[in-house]
Each structure stands twice: as C-alpha cells, then as structure tokens.
C-alpha cells in the first residue's frame, strides 16, 4: 500500500502509464515511486522504486517532502525524471529551501538512477508576512519549460494563497538537464486557493493556458482553467477569494 502520494506525471509515449511518488520516507519506511498503468478504472502497479533520501526520517525528524514530479522522454524506454522538494517550515522546527533533483528511469532495465545534485530554489514571493511559503507544491513540464506552484496557508481553514511561476528550463539530452531560471517571476497569483496540481490546458476550455487542481483542506478541492491574454502572461491575470481577505 502507498503512503501519502503527493505527485504524479504521465510517461510520454506510453498511454495510460504514470509515475506516482510518495512524499518521502517515514521512520525508515516508504519513500517510493510507483510505475502504474490504468486498466478499466484500476491502477495496476508495474513496479516500485526508492526515491532519493538525504534527510533522516527518524521519529521527531521530518524527512524529505517531495510534492512535484515531472517526466520527459529521453530515448526509447528511457525518461528524465524531475523531483521537487517543497521546502519551508517543517513540524520538527527546521526550515528548508525547496529544491529540484533529477534522475533517469530505464524501463527495460527496471531501475532509476538518481543524480546526487540538488538545485536550491529561490521562488518569487509577494511579501514576507506570515504564513511562511512552501516553494514547490506541484510541477508541470510544458515543452522545455518547467512550471511550479508555491503555496501559503495560515491553517486548515485558510487563508490560502498560491503563486505559479516558471522555475527552470529542461533539456533531457544535456549533461545537466535542468537549468534554473534566474530570479523567476510570478505569472499568476491566486488568493484563496492552495494549488497542489498543475497540468496542460484543457481542450474543453478554449483559450486556457494551464489547468490547476487545489487542495483547500477543509474546503475540499477544485479544478480550474487559467487564462492569459494572447501572446503574454501577465504577472497577476486575476485574483479570487473565497475565504481569504483581499489585500
């Protein structure tokens, strides 16, 4: 059984196949990435692989908190994987910087080789007022551009707010396949929502730029399309509130 699944990506060129990642190890257990295939409404597990680990998961210590996963085709049956660790204040009192790390998934060999390099993220911030920000709550790869969401929540009742920004450029064939964007800027700011999923625009919503999914704690979750004027992405195309106070 899985524990705290936090991220998922589709495997390019392999219909109905996905990778889904747990948030990390917990007291020496879990910390796995599952290769699954959807079949008639069920998910069949084709394999599971350990996620990288660089923080102890002993009792009283918060281990890795992976919340983003992106996949890109690299060669036949080989894929570049990008993991995003959320960063921010943890229950054990630590305050970590969000990071990206990558690996290569070889389906034929049945193994994932993780790079030891971690790229520390300096995400955009609207302000420094509490509550603290988690810089990666979701990842989405659009062509060679890696998008991320950052979230803030004061409590399970909110208020919430989210930023969506471009965090890196990706070239699966390069020696270092992930290049951070210097001083990334917020492309959308959404007040009142905790965006924990990013995806391609829906063909059912013409003109949309991205799709988002929220996990608004006691308020449940929502799916929404994001829009931008043709040819540009404004810093803040819209602001919405449902339980947050307007600035």
Find all residues with CB under 8 Å of 181, minimum gap 6, and list them: 166, 167, 168, 169
Average pLDDT over residues 68-93: 90
% of the chain surpassing 70 pLDDT: 88
Lowest mean pLDDT among 17-31, 103-117, 138-152: 17-31
Q: Which pLDDT does position 56 carry in this prediction?
A: 67
Asked if residue 240 has pLDDT above 80, the reply is no
pTM for this predicted structure: 0.88
**pLDDT tens-digit readout, 86-97:** 988 776 666 789
Average pLDDT over residues 28-38: 93
Q: Which pLDDT does position 120 carry in this prediction?
A: 95
Q: Where are the domains of the chain?
A: 1-120, 121-247
Which two tokens mark 20?
Answer: 């889904």
Q: Which pLDDT does position 246 carry in this prediction?
A: 32
Give Cα separations from 151 to 52, 56, 184 (angstroms): 24, 25, 15
Q: Which pLDDT does position 232 carry in this prediction?
A: 56
% of the chain surpassing 90 pLDDT: 70
Average pLDDT over residues 190-197: 94
């Amino acid at each position: 059984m899985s524990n705290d699944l936090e991220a998922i990506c589709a495997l390019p060129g392999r219909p109905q196949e996905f990778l889904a990642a747990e948030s990390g190890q917990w007291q020496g257990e879990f910390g796995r990435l599952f290769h699954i295939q959807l079949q008639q409404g069920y998910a069949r597990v084709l394999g599971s692989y350990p996620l990288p680990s660089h923080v102890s998961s002993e009792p009283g210590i918060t281990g890795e908190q992976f919340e983003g996963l992106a996949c890109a085709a690299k060669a036949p049956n080989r894929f570049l994987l990008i993991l995003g660790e959320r960063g921010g204040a943890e229950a054990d009192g630590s305050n970590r910087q969000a990071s990206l790390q990558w690996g290569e998934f070889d389906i034929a060999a049945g193994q994932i080789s993780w790079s030891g390099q971690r790229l520390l993220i300096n995400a955009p911030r609207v302000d420094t007022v509490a509550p603290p920000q988690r810089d990666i709550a979701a990842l989405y790869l659009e062509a060679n551009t890696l998008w991320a969401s950052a979230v803030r929540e004061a409590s399970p009742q909110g208020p919430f707010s989210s930023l969506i920004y471009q965090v890196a450029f990706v070239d699966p064939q390069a020696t270092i396949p992930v290049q951070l964007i210097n001083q990334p800027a917020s492309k959308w700011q959404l007040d009142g929502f905790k965006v924990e999923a990013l995806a391609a625009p829906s063909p059912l919503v013409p003109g949309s730029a991205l799709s988002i999914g929220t996990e608004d704690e006691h308020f449940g979750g929502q799916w929404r399309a994001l829009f931008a004027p043709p040819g540009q992405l404004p810093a803040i195309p819209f602001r919405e509130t449902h339980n947050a106070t307007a600035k």
